Amino acid sequence: MTDQLVELNVTGMHCNNCAISVHRLLEKKGLQNILVDFAGEEVKFSTTDETVIPQIIKDIEGLGFHVVDDVATHREKFYQKIENKFIFCAILTAPLLLHMVLPWHLLHHPYIQLALCLPVFIVGCLHFGKSAISSIRGGVPNMDVLIFIGSSAAFIYSLAGTIQNLGEQYQFYETCATIITLVLLGNLFEKRSVTQTTSAVKDLVKYQQVDARRIINGQVEIINAGEVKSGDILLVNTGDKIPVDGDILEGNASVDESMLTGESVPVEKQKYDSVIGGTILQSGNIRIIATKVGSNSVLAQIIDLMKKAQAAKPPIQKLGDKVAGIFVPTVILISLITFVLTYFAFGGTLQNSLMHAIAVLVISCPCAMGLATPTAVMVGLGRAAKNGVLIKGGDTIEAVANTKYIVFDKTGTLTTGTFALRDIRAQGSASIETIRGIVTAIEERSNHPIARSLVQQLKGQPQQKTILKAVSEEKGLGMRAEDVEGNHYFLGAAKTGTDIAYNLALYKNQQLIAEIAIQDDVKPGAANLIASLKKMGVVTVLLSGDKQSRCDTVAQTLGITAIHAEKLPDEKLSIIDVYKQKGKTIMIGDGVNDAPALTKADVGVSVNDASHIAIQSARVILLNTDLNSLLFFLQISKHTLVTIKQNLFWAFAYNIVAIPLAALGFMSPMLGAFIMAFSDVVVIGNSLRLKVKNVRS
């Protein structure tokens, strides 16, 4: 049986500790390829037995979470909303706090206080208690355990004092209610803050939610973009969002592709050009044929890529996860020790001992540690995506730290990849029209920049059409083909020793029939990029399959001293391996022949218009043609990693300082609850600074 990928929408997970609970539950069930994203409210796993899915859903809901059909359309019931729970509890908690400052006798009556506190305590039990008990059963106690124990201890202690009429010193109803109310407030802030950290994906999803004008029998009908099928003919007018990926059948247009590339300058499109769903038609009217719809579209793949990236953990997060996993039992133990020492060793009263122990429970915050890394990663990846840099995983951010070498492919990476056809020199009896036809027929089957440039420039020139029945691409060598008459062709790099101006050669049945001269220009900004990298202490390397003379020319223009020319894909692998042994290495390329090297490097980066294989092999995709996007990638990665470290420092430091202060009696449970409620917000707020922070430094 084959593995089936199961995707569930799960609400109610508010931090990484919740995600760990679900992850461990699924591990115990023996499931594979588990991915839990608390911020995106998604749980994915693979199984060979579909019959276990209903039970798994039941077990997840048993942990206190909710499995829904669609998070976007799911509407919580009135009493389930965190906002309404907080308002309800705040209204009842306010009089309990007022009795401490107002001389109203009625508010001091124990049964009045019990009546005000009991509804708040019930809300707390339903909100925190169910989650706490379920997390203990699942073997991963969460923060709700601490809140539930602390508020319950205060309530039960006060209830016992009220029943036995022991006096005001036994009345801590305001402590119980305030703990619950303030933690609900913290959860409310946390929910809204986490929503902001995932805004990049949600913004991209909005681009999918548009209408389309489908043309059927000359009539136009309005449908949802999700209903478009491959092959449908669509009309797109000025100001419309292009609903799906497609090719232009008629018309010209200026298209704003900034949502995809971060480039604000519109791109001019004409007949046969491709357009991407979600981009905006600024001017013009076009008819397109839908080519990629649903999950196959570029936008859908980017959204899926970002979701996976946000869920991928950097190695630095493992420390936080390990500590969060043992944090709750440790805090409970510290709380018990605090009570025992305060009451028995130091002769404290029962009330003081209990309050110190409760303060330890409520001031502790494993959520801050759980949120430290994923929130920073989400904001960092989101900002990168909005600037045309797709990063496959939070672990990539840490992988580029302290990069020593950046290895560049030449063609299409440091050079424009738009090759100017200078001349075709026929050899033998073949006519120039026949040669053009053969070259066009072969290169139409390739995605290499040289091939695309040749096809574009030969289009419209007189040529004799050649019909091919088989074409194959050999990495780093060229293209082989066979026509319907059985002739064999090879089009690739010219042999060493021939005229360097003619850098391509066409062979028919192993006989040279043409030499082709093409020229590639250095990309604008490439020299500034290399200079900037040198200032950062990075060693730049040129690694290409092209001729030594052309590589030397490009390297000299840009100021690169380390050059490896005329290298086949397997040789590129060996060279990357050598640099990796010396230090952390990034490889940047765009072609099929770069794919192995991109995979081999510590981090592979594919540039705009890269081949599909290169994109699959790389961990970073630069959608913007501007090479400065590479600098932005390095800078946003650096600042994201700095933010993660700041968050972890704050989370650890907060608990290291706060727990002893609470144990020694310097903080009341109410003050502890107030501080704890905002510790998560501080961590998330620091992460949100990445949205506006100047990272170009």
Q: Which residues contact 157 (CB under 8 A, 6 or more apart)?
A: 170, 172, 351, 354
Residue with tokens 């749980």: 43
Phi, psi of 603 (to 5 degrees): -140, 125
Pair 178, 184: CB distance under 8 Å: no
For range 424-449, the mean pLDDT: 87
Judged against a pLDDT cut of 80, whether residue 365 lies above it is answered with no
For range 233-247, the mean pLDDT: 88
Residue 304, both tokens = 């899926």
pLDDT confidence bin for 138, thresholds 50/70/90 = low
Residue with tokens 């029939």: 513
Exposed (0-12), middle (13-18) or buried (19+): which is 580, by Cβ within 10 Å?
middle
When the candidates are 2.60.40.1930, 3.50.50.60, 3.40.50.1470, 3.30.70.100, the CATH number that belongs to 4-75 is 3.30.70.100
**Region(s) of the chain under CATH 3.30.70.100:** 4-75
pLDDT confidence bin for 43, thresholds 50/70/90 = confident
At position 10, the amino acid (one-letter code) is: V
Rounded-to-integer distance, Cα 22 and Cα 56, Å: 10
Residue 311, both tokens = 């869920």
pLDDT at 523: 84
**Region(s) of the chain under CATH 2.70.150.10:** 211-297
Q: Which residues contact 655 (CB under 8 A, 6 or more apart)?
A: 327, 364, 365, 368, 369
Closest CA to 357 of 26, 675, 659, 676: 659
Residue with tokens 């499995």: 67
pLDDT at 695: 78
Residue 579, both tokens = 């640099």
pLDDT at 611: 46
pLDDT at 127: 83
Specify whether domain 420-519 bears CATH 3.40.1110.10: yes
Give the residue, 202 or 326, on which the prediction is more confident: 326
pLDDT at 163: 83
pLDDT at 264: 54
For the chain, the average pLDDT equals 80
Q: Which CATH architecture has domain 394-415+523-618?
A: 3-Layer(aba) Sandwich (3.40)
Phi, psi of 48 (to 5 degrees): -95, -10
Q: What is the DSSP string of 364-404?
A: --HHHHHHHHHHHHHHHHHHHHHTTEEES-HHHHHHTTT--
Active site residues: 409
pLDDT in tens, 211-231: 889 988 888 888 888 888 888
pLDDT in tens, 142-178: 777 878 888 888 888 888 878 877 666 667 788 888 8
Residue with tokens 């419209």: 460
pLDDT at 319: 59
What SS3 class is residue 413?
helix
pLDDT at 544: 86
Q: Which residues contact 363 (CB under 8 A, 6 or more apart)?
A: 658, 659, 661, 662, 667, 672, 673, 675, 676
Rounded-to-integer distance, Cα 334 and Cα 361, Å: 9
Give the residue, 65 or 115, on which the prediction is more confident: 115
**Region(s) of the chain under CATH 3.40.50.1000:** 394-415+523-618
Q: Helices 628-663 and 315-340 meet at what angle, rounded to 10?
A: 10
| Calculated CA dihedral for residues 269, 274, 276, 280, nearest 10 degrees | 20
Residue 182, both tokens = 């303030």
Give the residue, 201 or 275, on which the prediction is more confident: 275
pLDDT at 312: 57
Print burial letters for 228-256: b (CB count within 10 Å at least 16), e (below 16): beeebebebeeebbbbbbbebeebebebb
User: What are the CA-CA distances from residue 677 to residues 436, 655, 671 (Å)?
Assistant: 72, 13, 10
Q: Helices 432-443 and 449-458 meet at what angle, rounded to 10?
A: 140
- Per DSSP bridges, beta strands 405-408 and 539-543 are parallel
pLDDT in tens, 383-426: 887 787 888 777 788 788 889 999 998 877 888 766 778 889 98
**Region(s) of the chain under CATH 3.40.1110.10:** 420-519
Calculate what percentage of the chain has a pLDDT beyond 70. Answer: 82
Write out the CATH class of domain 211-297: mainly beta
pLDDT confidence bin for 184, thresholds 50/70/90 = confident
